[in-house]
Structure 1
Amino acid sequence: MARGGESLARVAVAVRAGAAPLWWSGVLGAAVGALPPGLTGRRVGVFAGAALLLLAAAAVFLARRGRYARLAAEAGRAARQDILQDRAVTLRNRRRARRWWLLAAFPAAVASSFAVPVAGGLLVAGLGAGLWLKALWIGRREAAGDRLLWVSADRLAAGGGPAGRHVTAYRATGIAAGDAAPGGARRR
């Protein structure tokens, strides 16, 4: 790090990193899980899966929102020496740190289909949808405050995610900083 600066990763990108792998693992797991009739039958599995998708998405979306809001409200200005991490680097690092969980999602969704078809896959898809919705919520807060939120990459790597116990503060920059739009999507 140059002259006391630290590497910063976007909060919304870190939240969004697991959304796509979980969503697609869940959708594919639900599709494969629709093949065996299971113990409960496909109809019960689909209805249970739809309920689990909604509950999982809501639970992930609502989890730690107060902590995210508090850290965002107390965010200090990023120093000139701070290094802003690229979106692709943050995605790669977050997915690599969680690779075993992300890889286990598909087989777990398929295996659960022998008991309750489709339900496990839709549960995993709901987790991905909840992360995506949370990233959008953070993006709306960033756009409303006209600033982007960043977290120390070292503290993010320590575990617990962007609102974990190792994270004590966020940094803020102007809306044009970095290569990701508010919410963590690619800048167009």
Structure 2
Amino acid sequence: MKKIFIILALILPLGAVQAISLDSLFAKKTAHLPEFSVVDINGKTHNNDTVKGKYLVINFWATWCPPCLKEIPAFVEFYDKNSAMVEILGMDYEQANKEKIKEFTETFMVNYPIILSDNNNQSEFSKFGEIVGMPTTVVYAPDGSLAEYFMGEISMKDLEKATHIK
């Protein structure tokens, strides 16, 4: 019994430190859509003006991330149904070759813009807050306010709830 109390005494402070550090990380997320400008793999620029009046869903992902790959069909379906009201930007958080990613998006039938983490876009990624794991999805309302922040795989239902679109 004494060993259990000793173990708990050692573990509980770690949980408190974890909570504090998570709170500080969450505090770093951007409560309002920052000024940004990124270029997708097809050369098209996306910025505050191109998403004005729409929900903006920013998904940080990577090709080596299994939960990221599992959620792609939900993003594809949601964008297919709602692209008039929603813009989705898939922010590929890995140093990857553009041709490899284009091939990947064709295989997965990705229908929304993919942004590479390259010299053109890297500084823009950090404007959306601290990314501590993947996938991470940030949803901004049409007025630019932060609507939702997800860590981990999300579903069609999560996207509908965050954007109030069914």
Fold equivalence (TM over 0.5): no
Scaled by the length of structure 2, the TM-score of the pair is 0.29
Q: Which has the higher contact order (CA 8 A, sep 6+)?
A: 1
Where is the strand percentage greater, Structure 1 or Structure 2?
2
Scaled by the length of structure 1, the TM-score of the pair is 0.27
